[in-house]
A and B are shown apart, each in its own frame.
Chain A
């Protein structure tokens, strides 16, 4: 008896993870899908600068028909010229404020049925809530969250009505601040967390129409918007954000586009981002049973790591506020 037990245990050890893997392979929903880009219509909001512009470059380089939407006609022209120079492709430009549903609707109708929608417009100001004006809080939520609803609502009917054009995609550019609320980012985090709720619910509503939702979580990215923001962000915000580091725009756009094409629900851009995604997967769907397996076996240790980070941050906040009161 005693001789059999250790061998039996040894045999048992791989059975548990293998069974979990097998179960997951059967149950993960929605099922994986690939989103083609070539010759399809890619529509990018906030496409005249930063990550949006870099995404437009990539889509054009991959043979898509690209439309970009932004507020400033001047910036749109510049972006159009830039993409033409770099890729020889002419993108369509549309000027509208995402807060204006009718203007967005008109632009989207003009551009024609969309296969790959990338909702990327965003504004961000880092400021403690006490010093953040109510107007600016509303502005952040209106552009980042309500604006995203406007764009998606405007595009949905035509997306649903497309026949035999293959799987469609709706991507939302969130932020690591949409996975963890950070000092100074109450309004920005709120607007980006909102995108997660939108995405989870939306995926359930549009899966039957072969439309696939993707959330992209960039870290601090070296865009013109970010340069502006860095000038005025609180010290504590900078300290905490440093936990993840920053990335170049092209790199972020590359990771984002790869994730969109792979039909993933959650797309992270660097290793810390990947860990953060594991920590904050919550009730997100997971279409890959390998990643689902990883989520299940690492959830515990990653929560432990997350708690260590919280310990570190709250100690930093405590230390910093003590120096302030002196």
Chain B
């Protein structure tokens, strides 16, 4: 009895010391990002998650600008926000792959306080079946495009005097935490955002700019509907491990995460577990979350290995079936 209670005491002491150490060392420290009366600039803001984020920003009193390719989609988005909130957002038409066009739009919109890099395209297909052009398209829009937007916005963001902490958010994906069948190019483009974000945060922290990565699961946007029709069966089976969410829910959770100045933002419990599994060398500003990462890291690695086991068994079963079907046809 005494042995057990002293063990327990020791454990509590251990936890408390760990918490104290973490509270002391976690960097960069979390900062609250105000939204009211500040300039929020959202790329891919005419539909899907971007449009929902624009709605959220407007309802919190921000000055909002949205950028997208299609002037029609932009006009519709502007109308829908005006109808819902009475507020007029600024619209800019540009392709994120075109640095000069993006730069021009960003300059016109004025210095940005909260940049949300959200544009993204996704085509789920086995690499063998995917054209090199499709691969290049996804990487150019999702990754290089994000660099273009950030580069264009940075000088003015750094030069803002006395305007409080700024924020650069990147909308990634759970496919940017785990590469899955059918998503070689999409996962590559989203994993790239993690490298960008980790390096960027180190470069801009001294300018009071705070980087956030957002990791939505499958979200029922118009883009997703299109993609569901064509993506490989196996991709859907594996993605089902995480389920899907509604656009408004995702936008609300993401927006809260941006305001809280978190580096990593997840949208549901499985997403949270996935973030712990894939935290890697991400910075952690919250010593509570850091404690969870340290205490549960091992268990969560075990859980992710169980998931891998299931995925690879599914792949094996499915490919055996395909081979049988194919050999019957021969």
Residues of A within 8 A of B (CB): 2, 5-6, 9, 20, 23-24, 27-30, 101, 128-130, 132, 134, 137-138, 141, 145-146, 149-150, 152-153, 156-157, 160, 177-205, 207-208, 236, 240, 276, 279-283, 285-286, 292, 295-304, 306-311, 313-315, 317-318, 321
A145-B139 CB under 8 A given contacts A150-B132, A178-B195, A191-B192: yes
Whether the pair A201, B180 counts as a contact (CB closer than 8 A) is yes
Whether the pair B128, A303 counts as a contact (CB closer than 8 A) is no
Residue numbers in A under 8 Å from B281 (CB-CB) = 179-181, 276, 279-280, 306, 309-310
Q: Which of B150, B177, B302 contacts A129 (CB 8 A)?
A: B150
Whether the pair B150, A201 counts as a contact (CB closer than 8 A) is no
Q: Which of A177, A183, A201 contacts B195 (CB 8 A)?
A: A177
Interface residues of B in 186-222 (CB under 8 A from A): 186-203, 205-206
A30-B312, A204-B311 given; 11 more Cβ-contact pairs under 8 Å:
A145-B188, A146-B139, A153-B132, A192-B195, A194-B189, A198-B188, A201-B184, A204-B315, A299-B297, A310-B25, A311-B26
Jot down 19 A-B pairs with beta carbons below 8 A, ordered by A. Answer: A27-B309, A29-B308, A129-B203, A141-B147, A181-B194, A181-B200, A189-B199, A190-B143, A190-B193, A193-B192, A194-B188, A196-B191, A198-B179, A205-B184, A282-B279, A299-B298, A300-B296, A313-B27, A314-B27
Q: How far is the CA of A295 from the CA of B304 in the complex (A)?
A: 11
Whether the pair A129, B147 counts as a contact (CB closer than 8 A) is yes
How far apart are A159's CB and chain B's nearest CB, in angstroms? 10
B295 at the interface (CB under 8 A from A): yes
Q: How far is the CA of A149 from the CA of B27 in the complex (A)?
A: 35
Residue numbers in A under 8 Å from B296 (CB-CB) = 300
Chain B binding surface SS class: helix
Whether the pair B139, A141 counts as a contact (CB closer than 8 A) is yes
A190-B195 CB under 8 A given contacts A146-B139, A153-B128, A317-B205: yes
B154 at the interface (CB under 8 A from A): yes
Residue numbers in B under 8 Å from A183 (CB-CB) = 199, 202-203
A208-B203 CB under 8 A given contacts A181-B194, A193-B195, A281-B301: no
How far apart are A209's CB and chain B's nearest CB, in angstroms? 9
Whether the pair B202, A236 counts as a contact (CB closer than 8 A) is yes
Whether the pair B202, A182 counts as a contact (CB closer than 8 A) is yes
Residue numbers in B under 8 Å from A179 (CB-CB) = 280-281
Residue numbers in B under 8 Å from A307 (CB-CB) = 22, 25-26, 284, 290, 294
Of all A-B residue pairs in the complex, the 5 with the closest CB atoms, nearest first, are A181-B198, A200-B179, A193-B195, A197-B191, A197-B187
Whether the pair A201, B181 counts as a contact (CB closer than 8 A) is yes
How far apart are A109's CB and chain B's nearest CB, in angstroms? 15
Residue numbers in B under 8 Å from A282 (CB-CB) = 177-178, 277-280
A145-B305 CB under 8 A given contacts A184-B199, A280-B280: no
Q: How far is the CA of A296 from the CA of B301 in the complex (A)?
A: 6
